[in-house]
Amino acid sequence: MSNLWNERYSKKEFIYGTKPNAFLEEQLAKITAGKIIFPCDGESRNGVFAAKKGWNVQAFDLSEEGYKKAILLAKENKVSISYQLADAMEVEYPKESVDVVALIYAHFPETIRKKIHQKIINWLKPGGFVILEAFNPLQLNNNSGGPKELSMLYTKEILANDFKNLMTQELDLKTIILDEGKYHQGKADVIRYVGKKEK
């Protein structure tokens, strides 16, 4: 899998653009800046955006090429992010150490998804948030990006179950128009989730 992403991120352009995900931007505006983790952050358009807004950003991804682009983007924007090359199943952060975990198009195979989502809950401080935008199964009808395997697309039932120990604040299916670089363009069917860890 890392070979696919290394090949994709090795291109000169930022393949998902340099602007943040719109849903993430909207949600972070509601929360006092603190510590945030970005799993599968690729070229780090979202991590760099959060750092510019005063967040203490920690990010990880499998791709070495993504890492290189992320460090470049942070430098260009005169911000600092803590970014490590790591697999989602292996990476560790201290328990109850961050205010937000932002999963932006971080799709995991069914066999490991629940385990990773549970780790993410553990990283959150009481009162912390998960912010998620991903593709739902209707995305298979579109050409605007995302996995082509049904098992890697998320439904309301999947997320409600994975994050059942959080207080759901938002869980919606949306049809939107994506404009995020070369690989996220056009009509898209997404799922949006915000959950809060009880204090």
Q: CB of 133 within 8 A of CB of 104?
A: yes
Cα 113 to its chain centre, rounded Å, is 13
What is the DSSP secondary-structure string of 7-66?
HHHTSSS-TT-SSPPHHHHHHHTTS---EEEETT-TT-HHHHHHHHTT-EEEEEES-HHH
Residue type, 137: P
Contacts of 119 (CB under 8 A, 6+ apart): 88, 92
**What pLDDT does 53 receive?**
98
How do residues 95-123 score in pLDDT, each as one tens digit?
Answer: 999 999 999 999 999 999 999 999 999 99
Above 80 in pLDDT, residue 41? yes
Q: Tell me the percentage of the chain whose pLDDT exceeds 90.
A: 90
How do residues 52-81 score in pLDDT, each as one tens digit?
Answer: 999 999 999 999 999 999 999 999 999 999
Q: Could you tell me the pLDDT band of residue 2, with boundaries at 50, 70 and 90?
A: low
Above 60 in pLDDT, residue 1? no
How do residues 149-191 score in pLDDT, each as one tens digit?
Answer: 999 999 999 999 999 999 999 999 999 999 999 889 999 999 9
> Shortest CA distance to 117 belongs to which of 129, 126, 108?
108
CATH code for residues 2-197: 3.40.50.150
Above 90 in pLDDT, residue 40? yes
Global pTM reads: 0.95
**What pLDDT does 10 receive?**
87
Cα dihedral sign, 70-21-143-160: positive
How do residues 120-150 score in pLDDT, each as one tens digit?
Answer: 999 999 999 999 999 999 999 999 999 999 9
Above 80 in pLDDT, residue 3? no
Above 70 in pLDDT, residue 20? yes
Ordered by start, the domain boundaries in the chain are: 2-197
